[in-house]
Chain A
């Protein structure tokens, strides 16, 4: 045996070294596939997880239209045009239409702000509905503090002025249905301030 090893020593050494190299290369080949091709990047994820971590999606706005924006529905799910409220609103709007639009630009608020007041209707509106809009106010900011949010003061004074304008035209705002513009965030904030400050 010893003769065998001594006679073929060099070949054994070469075989061992070659085996070690082969084993190393075998493991290396399983892991390497570098830089062969650079295809167009596929969109591996549909949603940007980084965005999700840093910008958690808040709860969706839950806003139920308040009672002054739409009349109650009957059992068929339709507006009860026979109800007294709706009849009154329709009649009031017919009388008010002659005076519309009421459009007042640069209405000065007691703080540095000024707003634009707009009362109008469009042909597509239901017979009982009027639009009341106040521009120049940031309705995204729902802070109800008069001290820290000047928009609150601007809304209160503007809405009060609108009620006065309607009253001057013989219209009690409680007799009409109205909306504060198309966007939900405006309606939600306006309704919050109306309820907080008892404006209706």
Chain B
């Protein structure tokens, strides 16, 4: 029996232990040392799409964050008071004592976070990686549900050396492999070689072995030859293969090729030294036969080994030589002959497609606890005031770092995808247009699936609050224990002494109050605004190539800005293990529209998943055109400078959607200030981003853009006494709108334009590039009250310059 119990329980205990260890291991990044520098490597890497988990050594800490509200963390705290020991204000009421307490609590709280994952953007944990031998999700799910897998494809990955069959290439290689010309794919991979050890780790990209594909050679000889390094290089699993890293492509192909080229150079020198008839022809023939020496491929747009531009023939030669052949261009006939050269390895060409076209580094994000809780708990009559949760040192917000995978990668790949259609010079991350956003973040629609660990760590903070509450106690009573007294008297002791000995006083009473404090959180996610703009919401997005019209009559509806969501478990001081949710902005919309919506559009009707759109909202979007009727009354200059014109066409015109311009027009109608000027102010304050105001470029939050634009119109007119009568008044009003601190006259600068009057004529905020005299202009104060070390050249046109350009545009 004992043996049976041992046989049953020991394995069970072992399994439980392993699970616990496994759970702990999952929280440990791979490689375990997450401070491996950018120019260092580890022999253990997790996955080719996330080789260094939780490592942000290569990425900048100045990435722009998108902030979004998250779930609440509820802390439970108990306050215990003892009567009569604790200080309270007590009054007697009948046979009860009522005590009121005002207690200040300040305590260090440690909140352990775990379980947070990044959904939708990628998944390297449920697939083959350094810990798993098998996929939990198949290739179709990878491509349909994850942006990283969709854009990069399943083929040409270290983990899948055998996915080079027709089905995988046709169905699972992704849009970039199909749309990008070979030249561009070569170039993007070359950029990663240049970036290795600088802005990205020198990761493993493929494992290789030698293989002889011949049925003639017996198996044992084949094995022996392969072990000697003879045969074709093929991709294989890393347990059985030799690793190749990105910088392995840095260098020359083969020493034999170098010797060959040295020989060609010597012959060339000899030919040059001895003049004879037909020398130039011979020289050309010799030069043309210098072989491609490098491990990276030749680019048609680049130069040959002689430093001359490629033509079709020389490029073909160089390409074949890169692939391991030796070629010769037969003089006069210009005929190319190539033969396999066994002294030149093919592996650099054969394996080149395994180099990723993007970074695969993690980037830093945060989960932040708001200083002031949005709601506090009261239990019974307990009141909480002055509740705050701050970081341990200082008064800033307490936060925990999150490590976001796939954000750099998908941003890079999305940008490359956009390059296939966006005209040169245009902004690919234009502000979102025609998007329906939730008014609050409570009960919002979200999307989620299994993703990669964000390695949320601890939040350490100081919780402060004042608690006011009352407790009721029984009065302290002293009684005589009769049984004791009897016993004492029975022992013939003095009755008075016995009375004293047998007195009993009511013991101290305790009163415990349980408090619940809700801390609201928000997430800071890097790069997600750009990815959202590139893939769905911007006017140059991929989604809008398929659905050009949204939120207009006859269109599919309005795009909804849907968040992604992941559960996050928290525990710690005064906290039992609980779960809340962490919301990540925009990625639900990326799943809905980029991953699923495009597929639904491409398929026959009835196929594909239904897509959610909001109703077309026109009621609070005014109609109007900035037609210049009001602006022309000020007799503005008829044109600006070439620089201003170019800048407007390249950087501003595309931001001015019809809806945005209609808002400026409505504000013009309500205030009398020309819509062109309001557009110029919005450009200066917020680059015409419809989510930010005209006052200082701050987020609109609960205000509408119309409200902000109308207020700006009122403020502008008020700067000159309430009415802008002339063009000079307009200049002065715009300058005063910004405070006038950077006016250029009288500063000893190279500015040679006009000086006041009117006031503001020399203020770049108002007039930069308005004509050739207003260029150059300078920024005097780079920060509030702080002069620039040297005055900085203004790079953007002023408000009125933009206004004139808009007035002159179609």
Contacts and interface: CB of A to CB of B under 8 A. Distances in A.
Physical interaction between A and B = yes
B784 A61 contact: yes
B782 interface: yes
A138 B789 CA distance: 18
B785 A142 contact: yes
A103 B303 CA distance: 69
A120 B720 CA distance: 10
Contacts of A32: 251-252
Given A36-B302, A46-B60, A46-B62, A30 B252 contact: yes
Interface in A169-185: 181-185
B98 interface: no
A42 interface: yes
A148 interface: no
Interface string A16-46: 0000011001101111110111110010111
B187 A101 contact: no
Interface centre among A29, A61, A103, A120 (most CB of B within 10 A): A29
B258 A131 contact: no
A181 B194 CA distance: 50
B785 A140 contact: yes
Nearest to A137: B740
B441 to A, nearest CB: 19
A118 interface: yes
Contacts of B63: 46
Contacts of B781: 140
B296 A189 contact: no
Contacts of A64: none
Contact of B783 (A42, A58, A123, A181): A58
Contacts of B195: 42, 44
Contact of B715 (A39, A44, A122): A122
Nearest to B64: A46
A39 B190 CA distance: 8
B271 interface: no
Contact of A36 (B294, B695, B696): B294
B684 to A, nearest CB: 13
Given A42-B195, A140-B785, A120 B722 contact: yes
B60 A184 contact: no
A30 B721 contact: no
Nearest to B253: A29
B620 interface: no
A147 interface: no
Contacts of B696: 182
Contacts of B250: 33
Contact of B296 (A36, A54, A116): A36
A194 B331 CA distance: 89
B426 to A, nearest CB: 16
A29 B785 contact: no
Contacts of B251: 29-33
Contact of B255 (A25, A31, A54, A138): A25
Interface string B241-255: 000000000111011
A42 B187 CA distance: 11
Contact of A39 (B187, B739, B788): B187
A186 B298 contact: no
A45 B255 contact: no
Interface in A29-78: 29-33, 35-39, 42, 44-47, 54-55, 57-58, 61, 75
Nearest to B740: A135
Contacts of A75: 385
A107 interface: no
Contacts of B298: 36-37
B255 A29 contact: yes
A126 interface: no
Contacts of B187: 37, 39
A139 interface: yes
Interface residues of A, number: 51
A108 to B, nearest CB: 15
Contacts of B719: 118, 133, 135
A58 B190 contact: no
Contacts of A186: 739
A61 B788 contact: no
Interface size class of B (residues with CB under 8 A): 35 or more
Interface string B760-791: 00000000000000000000111111101100
A44 to B, nearest CB: 6
Contacts of B262: 25
Contacts of A122: 711, 714-715, 718
Interface centre among B187, B190, B303, B741 (most CB of A within 10 A): B741
B691 interface: no
A75 B720 CA distance: 39
B759 interface: yes
Contacts of B759: 116, 135-136
B258 A33 contact: no
Nearest to B713: A122
B185 interface: no
A124 interface: yes
Contacts of B60: 45-47
Interface in B663-701: 695-696
A164 B669 CA distance: 37
A103 B739 contact: no
Nearest to A47: B62
Nearest to A43: B199
Contact of B190 (A37, A123, A182): A37
A188 interface: yes
B784 A184 contact: yes
A142 to B, nearest CB: 5
Contacts of A136: 740, 759
Contacts of B385: 75
B191 interface: yes
Interface in A121-152: 122-124, 131, 133, 135-136, 138-142
B294 A185 contact: no
A28 B262 CA distance: 12
A33 B294 contact: yes
B467 to A, nearest CB: 15
A30 B175 CA distance: 35
B150 interface: no
Contact of B259 (A22, A38, A55, A58): A22
B695 A182 contact: yes
Nearest to B191: A42
B194 A55 contact: no
B444 to A, nearest CB: 24
Nearest to B714: A122
B530 to A, nearest CB: 12
Contacts of B782: 55
Contact of B738 (A58, A101, A141, A183): A183
Contacts of A44: 195, 198-199
Contacts of A101: 718, 721-722
Given A30-B252, A31-B251, A131 B718 contact: yes
Contacts of A54: 789
Contacts of B446: none
Given A25-B255, A35-B307, A37-B302, A138 B296 contact: no
A182 B715 contact: yes
B172 interface: no
B740 to A, nearest CB: 6
3 tightest A-B CB contacts, nearest first: A29-B252, A103-B721, A46-B60
Interface of B: 60, 62-63, 187, 190-191, 194-195, 198-199, 250-252, 254-255, 258-259, 262, 293-296, 298-299, 302-303, 307, 385, 695-696, 707, 710-711, 714-715, 718-722, 736-741, 759, 780-786, 788-789
Given A120-B722, A140-B780, A189-B785, 5 more contacts: A25-B259, A44-B199, A58-B786, A101-B722, A135-B759
20 contacts: A25-B262, A29-B254, A36-B294, A36-B298, A39-B187, A44-B195, A44-B198, A45-B60, A57-B783, A61-B785, A118-B721, A124-B714, A131-B718, A136-B740, A136-B759, A138-B741, A182-B739, A185-B785, A186-B739, A189-B785
